[in-house]
Chain A
């Protein structure tokens, strides 16, 4: 059974970097694309981007200048870094799996809440 588990600090200060890690169990990280999605409080879903194990990435242009998603095959983990955060980045952040290169997101983590505040 494939499971994704997000981890990271629940609170980040404005202008700093938000860092999240998603740990994958029950599946090889080398066979899929690994996505990050976020959901501001009371709002809809926003796709942030994905990374493939070979370093290929695809980012939402609205966040591209601030985002890095990378895969660590040795740890079966992938990570999200979002720099220069503001209060508008406050959201529940999700990890999800998809099949390369055009795949729906069939497995999701439970999500982790990140608040940007001083």
Chain B
């Protein structure tokens, strides 16, 4: 089973700053089947990125994903107030699908 480890656990930033979130896999993720989700309190997760670097429909271009193999990154170029949330990575290339433990992006 692939285990995903996200870092940092919490990121304290101000609006307008750049956010860089990391997701490291215990084994290579097949065909870059790596997704990122955003979750706000009391809401369901929302797909941001799939295939490691493709933005889902309706996702602003300030969100970008990169990486391959075991190391992946989600970058938010300039934080907007609505971007403060918890972010999860997820691999879907090897069963069982698995999520990272999450990174909370909070207002500094």
* B is a partner of A: yes
Give the distance in Å from the alpha carbon of A47 to the alpha carbon of B39 in the complex. Answer: 15
- Asked whether, in the complex, the Cβ of A102 is within 8 Å of the Cβ of B101, the reply is no
- Asked whether, in the complex, the Cβ of B92 is within 8 Å of the Cβ of A103, the reply is yes
Stretch at the interface among A12-20, A24-32, A74-82, A107-115: A107-115
Indicate whether B31 reaches chain A with its CB closer than 8 angstroms. Answer: yes
Give the distance in Å from the alpha carbon of A117 to the alpha carbon of B1 in the complex. Answer: 31
Interface of B is mostly: loop
Give the distance in Å from the alpha carbon of A47 to the alpha carbon of B91 in the complex. Answer: 11
Indicate whether B50 reaches chain A with its CB closer than 8 angstroms. Answer: yes
Task: Specify which chain B residues have a CB less than 8 angstroms from the CB of A47 in the assembled complex.
Answer: 90, 96-99
Residue in B56, B88, B96 whose CB lies within 8 Å of A106: B56
Give the distance in Å from the alpha carbon of A41 to the alpha carbon of B7 in the complex. Answer: 21
- Asked whether, in the complex, the Cβ of B98 is within 8 Å of the Cβ of A102, the reply is no
Which residue of A has the minimal Cβ distance to B30? A102
Interface size on B, residues (CB 8 A): 28
Task: Specify which chain A residues have a CB less than 8 angstroms from the CB of B46 in the assembled complex.
Answer: 108
Indicate whether A72 reaches chain B with its CB closer than 8 angstroms. Answer: no
Indicate whether A11 reaches chain B with its CB closer than 8 angstroms. Answer: no
- Give the contacts of A77-115 with B (CB-CB under 8 A): 94, 98, 102-106, 108-111
Q: A44-B102, A45-B45 are in contact. Are A102 and B96 (CB under 8 A)?
A: no
- Asked whether, in the complex, the Cβ of B44 is within 8 Å of the Cβ of A109, the reply is yes
Interface centre among B30, B44, B56 (most CB of A within 10 A): B44
Interface pairs (12), CB distance under 8 Å: A44-B99, A44-B102, A45-B37, A47-B90, A47-B96, A47-B97, A61-B96, A98-B92, A104-B47, A104-B92, A108-B44, A108-B45
